Structure 1
Amino acid sequence: MFKNIMQLAWVTTDVRQAVKQFQEGQGIENIAIFDGFTLSTAEGGEVVIDVALAYVGDMQFEIIQPVSGEVDLYRRHLPADPTEYALRFHHICSRLDSIEEYEQVLSDYRKRGVTVEVDGSFGEGGRFFYADTRGLVDHYQEYVYRDDATKEFLNTLPRN
């Protein structure tokens, strides 16, 4: 599960306030914000989020504010009242190095009866899924296979 960890992620009701909190409270000064970031699900739906991204060393930090579409995965960790500010830890993300490895890990989770919340895609061939490992380790586990276009995009993110 914890092989090739590349990202720590939080969900929030206000991405800009959360970014300010990370900047002032954690000293992560350079953080990029992307509004209306859209991902596709395997079932043909979409996930729309406002997302803040930055690196601290080799570790990527992600802050997600759910906007629309299939975002229950994120919203269920937040207060029912969207005007109430919250910032909560959500998941760890591990990198998978081939689409074959991605399919194998996804299949393994399903065979073990672990719920896969979202199986989606981005870029020109990137894939991601969230395994509901909250009962085991109190957070979701995300896995991602990054295509070349996604790797190029990630290389443009701020470094701290």
Structure 2
Amino acid sequence: MSRLFGEIAQNGYVVRDLDTAIANWVEVLEVGPWFYFEGLRFEDFRYRGEPSEARVDLALANSGDLQIELIQPADDSPSMYRDFLAAGNEGLQHVCYWTTEYQQLYDTALARGYTVGQEGAVGGAQGRFAYLETGFHPGTVVEISDVSGPKRSVFDFIRKTAAEWDGSKPIRRM
């Protein structure tokens, strides 16, 4: 438990081949089902303070209360995902904390010296997110994500579906 951010709600993995990554999670670990979003473009996305049109292919599933996010860049636009792969990494890129007090947590993190690597939104202002750089090890980027809006309902649905999953239909394209 982080005294600043709270409980980790999601582990985010950046991968070179999303289909292979999903297959491994399903076949080896039997985690699923995966909700697959192709060509997702974030709202108001900024990379290192500059606008970016980055698109990603993304899949979400849960293992208990922990959400697993798999991300594959879908274009060459600047993003921390591209940076991670270009540095020769693949795998855990960030841990994510969900909050209903987004602006307060954002301001506190910046006041404590965190810097924003990228930020944007999914589903409007109540779906904002920011990736905060830690710099101490690959896989330790901190994401904070506002779940005070409709994004929370989607995440709750994914968790409930995983809890009841019988192994059928492991990929659900959105």
Shorter chain as denominator, the TM-score bin is 0.7 to 0.9
Cα 1:136/1:104, change in 2 over 3 Å: farther
**Corresponding residue of 2:36:** 33
Identity across the alignment (%): 27
SS of residue in 1 equivalent to 2:40: strand
**1:71-118 CA distance string (max 9 Å, x none):** 43011221579xxxx7411111001112xxx22222233233322111
- AA at the equivalent of 1:67: A
Aligned 8 A contact 2:116 2:133 in 1: yes
Is 1:159 the counterpart of 2:166? The answer is: no
Equivalent positions of 1:56-95 (< 5 A) are: 56-68=63-75, 70-79=77-86, 87-95=90-98
Aligned 8 A contact 1:123 1:150 in 2: yes
1:28 to partner: Cα distance: 0.8
The TM-score with structure 1 as length reference comes to: 0.81
Aligned equivalents of 1:69 and 1:149: distance in 2?
29
The TM-score with structure 2 as length reference comes to: 0.75
Q: For the aligned residues, what is the CA RMSD?
A: 2.5
1:35 to partner: Cα distance: 0.4
Aligned equivalents of 1:53 and 1:4: distance in 2?
18
1:54 to partner: Cα distance: 0.6
**1:53-79 CA distance string (max 9 Å, x none):** 011111110000012375430112215
| Structure 1 residue ranges (4+ consecutive) displaced by more than 6 angstroms after TM superposition | none
- AA at the equivalent of 2:62: Y
Q: How many residues align?
A: 153
**Corresponding residue of 1:134:** 135
Q: What 5-or-longer segments of structure 1 have no aligned partner?
A: none
Aligned 8 A contact 2:58 2:71 in 1: yes
- AA at the equivalent of 1:109: A
